[in-house]
Structure 1
Amino acid sequence: ALAGALAMQPGLLLLDEPTANLDPAGVIEVRDAVARVVEATGATLIVVEHRADVWRDMIDREVRLGAAGTTTADFGGTRSAGPETSGSAAEMPYASAPLLEARGLTVARVRGRVVAGPIDLAVMPGEVLGITGANGSGKSTLGRTLAGLLPPAGGAVVASDELRGGAKADPIRWTSAQLLTRIGTVLQSPDHQLLAKTVRDEIEVGPRALQLSEGEIGRRTDDLLERLRLDHLAAAHPHTLSGGEKRRLTVGAMLATRPRVCVLDEPTFGQDPQTWREMVAIMSALAADGIAIVAITHDLGLLHALGAREFRMGVSG
């Protein structure tokens, strides 16, 4: 994408979150490539970012925007400190028995093409498990396999008696209704799981599939809209939202069915410092309630803030 933009020999290069969803090595590669281009061409560079730290040695001016496009800060010169992005680790009530286990698991995006494994991994109640690793290492594929959305290429994913509650042992054999209250999933791309015509309807999809009462559906939806700061967008079409708002909406839609295990792929993608902290608080509260959280992420600050256990693809598995 960068090469395509440069082929036009622009005098101004505008990059909108160019390092989103990249592993740390990829972030550095993109930054260094942009730096070489700017130095060689003298082009003006504008970078739209939630986290400006990686660009600070290159920029001459930083503008921070608030609500409705208002400017909250405008200063020149390189700076060493960025917006606050740290949280506080939660008290995690770890239990001795896992809710979900990978046993000698190999995973594949396409049948017959193994991308990772064998993997032995336990998902514990009240724990945040961070799955990290380079782009293409199989993180998302592992997450979808644990969540019962992809069949294991080898080995097995086994749910505890507590989690399956009478369903089959392997989540891939569960019905969609059985998955709703057991394992919730937020995909890496929010657009791949937006189904309804309004934000409110999107959060109501799961509860309606469970045939909850109108009163209970309303209570759950109102609570999540407020907690995720989406209440003012309740009547908006989901595809008109920003990337960060779509991410919060998919998290809300998942939480509406109150699953015991939450698998979140890049949960902090597109979040500004305030909504990042709010996402940390939500995940911390879920873990404190005994929910098991699997976070597939490049955001090591998120894992630090949550006191997560890290499983690095390509190292342990």
Structure 2
Amino acid sequence: MTPVPAPSPGAASVSARGWGWRHAGRRAFAARHLDLEIRPGERVLLLGASGAGKSTVLHGLAGLLGSQDEGEQEGELLLDGVRPADARGRAGLVLQDPETQVVLARVGDEVAFAAENLAVPREQIWQRVHRALDDVGLDLPLDHPTGALSGGQKQRLALAAVLAMEPGLLLLDEPTANLDPDGVLEVRDAVVRVLDRTGATLVVVEHRVAVWADVVDRVIVLDAAGGVLADGAPGVVLVQEGTRARLADAGVWIPGRQPFVGGPVPDGGGDVLLSAQALAVARTKRGPAAVEDLAVDVRAGQALSITGPNGAGKSTAALTLGCLLRPRAGRLDALPGLAGAAGSDPFRWRSPQLVQRIGTVFQEPEHQFLTPSVAEELEFGPRRVGGTADPRRTGELAERLRLTHLLRANPFTLSGGEKRRLSVATMLATAPRILILDEPTFGQDALTWAELVTLLRELIDAGVAVVSVTHDADFIAALGGATLHVSGGAGRLVAS
């Protein structure tokens, strides 16, 4: 374990006494009965099952909760002995969804924005901007448009903006979730460098436990029922067999322990449903092509995993295969087993025709939520297609993906993992022949990961084609099928 430096005068302390928060319109508290003390300069890994309240705790420490219109608070949560809302600039938070954190149009301005608001002298701001961008490995011009960044690049940008603040408390919510394997280590090492330099306190929420276990000095595990399930040094909490078993039962990812997935890995594949030939894909009409000369067949009853470094064009390729972006060049044809009477050109299909054939789950789940409750969200697609929703179908999906207790909740108040599962369920509700998923395992604990994999295996066995943009090697191995590696502006089928 890396030795923890002596805390700097700027390092922040955290105190919680019986603290809890309930979102407006929700019966259950998102977090409750929390009692803990975090000393200045400590590095804490905050774990817990999906929906245990980890993100809520970070939002509370960042001063983003507290309005009576937004919810109800009980107990006390303090930062340096005062309410977090009164400690402006002391905490810097990287949100679970970096898309919601990007404000300005250019990379340099975005990184400088928070430091400017804290009245950091101008000459220091740009020194911090360059250093933060170097720290996170985002090698782009300062005038590069933020709208042209991939999801992983936006994650690095959001982290750089917070690092440039040099806060006394650094709060990171799934900071490596959408990063390629090299990027995961780069970002973790960037955080460690900043902590070594500033002595700041760290609280990081992450399902990649093994990545952070050697660079933190404390692990706190939240109980889904409220309070703290475990608290101690990583060598105790993550190593002692009795504790490991208890955490595994709660859904916490334990290094060296893989969740059980029932049934064999799907094998083979059926008829071609969608065929791409010499495809060039681009995010915008005028921008450069992200991937060129892409040739791939999407087959019934087969998984296709799209991999590659951040910014390579994986999501753009997936959106094109999902017929939500028109290709710059080449052909994308629907074969009879998919097209039916709708015709071979999927870009001529009407929305109800498309959603029954190809369902796409975006990288940012919030981008596809349209209603005020989980139940209505599950019913929306079937109602648009056929006028009614089958309550047995939506009920089964809610139960399989652990959403039954959230049916009345507003989708935007769910945890990141719950939002991801809901976005998958909404697409499955219309029973498409092809399901396209962008980072499907984002925010999942070990139990919900296994349930999602099991459900997707069953769909593949039933003849559905599952296309996934993912960095999750375990997920790829669990689904089998083919892998399309996208890199350097080209796509290459590397395994089947």
Q: TM-score, normalised by structure 2?
A: 0.60
Please tell me whether residue 31 in structure 1 is matched to residue 188 in structure 2. yes
1:259 counterpart residue number = 432
Supply the distance in 1 between the matched residues of 2:166 and 2:295 (Cα, whole angstroms): 50
Query: Quick one: which of 310, 319, 325 aligns to 1:135?
Result: 310
Question: For 1:194-237, what per-residue CA distance to the aligned partner results, in whole angstroms no more than 9, with x for missing partners?
Answer: 00111000010111012254xx5211111111111111110111
Contact 1:130/1:303 (8 A) holds in 2: yes
2:285 counterpart residue number = 111
1:225 counterpart residue number = 398
2:451 counterpart residue number = 278
Structure 2: where are the runs of 5+ without partners?
A: 1-157, 240-253
User: Residue type matched to 1:297 in 2?
Assistant: T
Instruction: Compute the displacement of 1:70 (Å).
Output: 3.8
Contact 2:270/2:301 (8 A) holds in 1: no
Matched ranges for 1:1-317 at <5 A: 1-78=158-235, 82=255, 84-88=257-261, 90-112=264-286, 113-213=288-388, 217-314=390-487, 316-317=491-492
Larger relative contact order (C-alpha < 8 A, sep ≥ 6)?
1
Note closer, same or farther for the CA distance 1:303–1:5 as it changes in structure 2 (3 Å cut).
same
Supply the distance in 1 between the matched residues of 2:376 and 2:171 (Cα, whole angstroms): 35
Contact 2:267/2:481 (8 A) holds in 1: no
SS at match of 2:371: coil
RMSD over equivalenced CA pairs, Å = 1.9
Supply the distance in 2 between the matched residues of 1:103 and 1:4 (Cα, whole angstroms): 40
Question: For 1:41-85, what per-residue CA distance to the aligned partner results, in whole angstroms no more than 9, with x for missing partners?
Answer: 222222111221111110112122231334333331456862744
Contact 1:86/1:305 (8 A) holds in 2: no
Contact 1:84/1:273 (8 A) holds in 2: no
Note closer, same or farther for the CA distance 1:173–1:87 as it changes in structure 2 (3 Å cut).
farther
Supply the distance in 2 between the matched residues of 1:83 and 1:237 (Cα, whole angstroms): 36
Contact 2:484/2:491 (8 A) holds in 1: yes
Instruction: Compute the displacement of 1:12 (Å).
Output: 2.7
Note closer, same or farther for the CA distance 1:195–1:84 as it changes in structure 2 (3 Å cut).
farther
Note closer, same or farther for the CA distance 1:308–1:55 as it changes in structure 2 (3 Å cut).
farther
User: Residue type matched to 1:10 in 2?
Assistant: P
Instruction: Compute the displacement of 1:3 (Å).
Output: 3.9
Instruction: Compute the displacement of 1:133 (Å).
Output: 0.8
Supply the distance in 1 between the matched residues of 2:234 and 2:319 (Cα, whole angstroms): 44
Instruction: Compute the displacement of 1:122 (Å).
Output: 0.9
Q: TM-score, normalised by structure 1?
A: 0.93
Instruction: Compute the displacement of 1:98 (Å).
Output: 1.1
Note closer, same or farther for the CA distance 1:61–1:83 as it changes in structure 2 (3 Å cut).
farther
Supply the distance in 1 between the matched residues of 2:256 and 2:348 (Cα, whole angstroms): 45
Contact 1:105/1:118 (8 A) holds in 2: yes
Contact 1:94/1:125 (8 A) holds in 2: no
Instruction: Compute the displacement of 1:179 (Å).
Output: 0.9
Note closer, same or farther for the CA distance 1:107–1:54 as it changes in structure 2 (3 Å cut).
same
Instruction: Compute the displacement of 1:96 (Å).
Output: 4.6
Instruction: Compute the displacement of 1:90 (Å).
Output: 3.7
Structure of greater Rg: 2
Contact 1:83/1:273 (8 A) holds in 2: no
Question: For 1:12-67, what per-residue CA distance to the aligned partner results, in whole angstroms no more than 9, with x for missing partners?
Answer: 32211111211112211111111111122222222111221111110112122231
Supply the distance in 1 between the matched residues of 2:284 and 2:165 (Cα, whole angstroms): 37
Contact 1:132/1:313 (8 A) holds in 2: yes
Moved more, 257-266 or 80-89: 80-89
Supply the distance in 2 between the matched residues of 1:87 and 1:303 (Cα, whole angstroms): 15
- Matched residue count: 315
Supply the distance in 1 between the matched residues of 2:312 and 2:285 (Cα, whole angstroms): 17
Contact 2:270/2:463 (8 A) holds in 1: no
User: Residue type matched to 2:232 in 1?
Assistant: F
Moved more, 199-208 or 34-43: 34-43
Structure 1: where are the runs of 5+ without partners?
A: none
Supply the distance in 2 between the matched residues of 1:247 and 1:77 (Cα, whole angstroms): 28
Instruction: Compute the displacement of 1:103 (Å).
Output: 0.8
SS at match of 1:58: coil
Note closer, same or farther for the CA distance 1:73–1:208 as it changes in structure 2 (3 Å cut).
same
User: Residue type matched to 1:306 in 2?
Assistant: L
Moved more, 60-69 or 106-115: 60-69
